[in-house]
Structure 1
Amino acid sequence: MKILIIGGGVVTKELLRILNLKKNQAVIVEKDPNKCADIGSKYDVIVINKDATDISIYTSDISMPDLDAVLALTDRDEVNVFALTIAKLYNIPLRLARVKDPKIAELIIQLGLGIPISVPAVTADLVKGYLESIREPQMLGVFGDYKLFRITITETDKVVGKSLKEVDLPPDTYVLFIFDGINVKIPDKDSKLLSGNQVMVLTKSDDIIKVFKG
């Protein structure tokens, strides 16, 4: 997976520590040269020492169409929204931003820019969970004949924009809840699966990836 990470702070460093950088290619954009030097010396990643609002990053420094994910993890909401906006223009499958203002988080959802994570402490494990479940469901556990999966919905998925009643779920399959980055909802048959939603699915089926991803 090719990942662009905006910001070189604590969350980014922790994420790099737990990511498998042999399987994932990461590019970090950070304006502080000291942080750039620190990250570059510790991790096998590409580091770009520029402000994330510098448009040349997206037009010259990085091949945006090749990216699988853009993670905006700075402590500035406006910068993170800017990064998601650029990512949406390039139809990057996974777009995630750390936000402090709940109103900004709601705006990100309304505009379809991506996934806002507005929890008191954005953790690297939470971000890693999104990355791991973007391409295929992540199995979290086995309970008798049932398996519990975490699935992140992207714009290219078979089920995006559909309500649960429009999805041909296998027998003995239950969508337990939907997380939009702000709220956890217990869905009903009219609940829609939107890009950026993370869903928990309990099922006996081994083909759940085909149902959601196509």
Structure 2
Amino acid sequence: MTTTFKHPATVETVGNQFICFDTMDTDGSWTSTFATDVSEYPTVTEIEVADNTDSYDSYASGKIYESDAPVTSKTITVTNIAFDSITIEKMKGADIDGGVVLSGGTKNTRPYFAYGVDVINKDKTHEYRWYPKCKLTDNDDKTSTSADKHSDQTKQLTITAYGFDDDGHIDCKVFTSEKGYENVKAADFFTKPILTLADAKKLGTAAGA
């Protein structure tokens, strides 16, 4: 047995975030078809991702026979320096007609969308992430009066990411620190939501060509 020494890079900052709405069925269920446009926002000041697990212990003969803690969804909390209000209303399932919005009510179905984010390390490698099946679960809308001393007024979004395939995968990531993926750029990864291992591996092949 050999010991391999590793010195992973620390995170420097969070980069841009990306949103692409799903083309849902008429009953509001998620499909693997997305809109042709991906919106990019350079507005993130902080992001936190938490696993939601369904842990269990199975007992037999007076002891634990099996235990597991599968991740059933992820909660993404994003703090923004600014965010497009119409996009938030669309995430909430509001009725939108130009600059007029009717929001709230029991008949509004919140749409699914893909959420992406670029995490940048100090050695300039990247961790690209797509969460293909998401819904907005909460958002704040707090506004303060202006004052002599500047204070950022932020908007916080809480997004739930769900499993999107038969295996319950929740996200797709590419690490440019790994061999074969060093040349993958954000423009390549975030062109559209990525749902399969095969599509993600194509990025490395194309970037290395």
Same fold (TM over 0.5): no
Higher normalized contact order (CA 8 Å, seq sep 6+, divided by chain length): 2
Shorter chain as denominator, the TM-score bin is: under 0.3
Whose strand fraction is larger, Structure 1's or Structure 2's? Answer: 2
Whose helix fraction is larger, Structure 1's or Structure 2's? Answer: 1
Quick check: which has more Rg, 1 or 2? 2
TM-score, with structure 1 as normaliser: 0.22
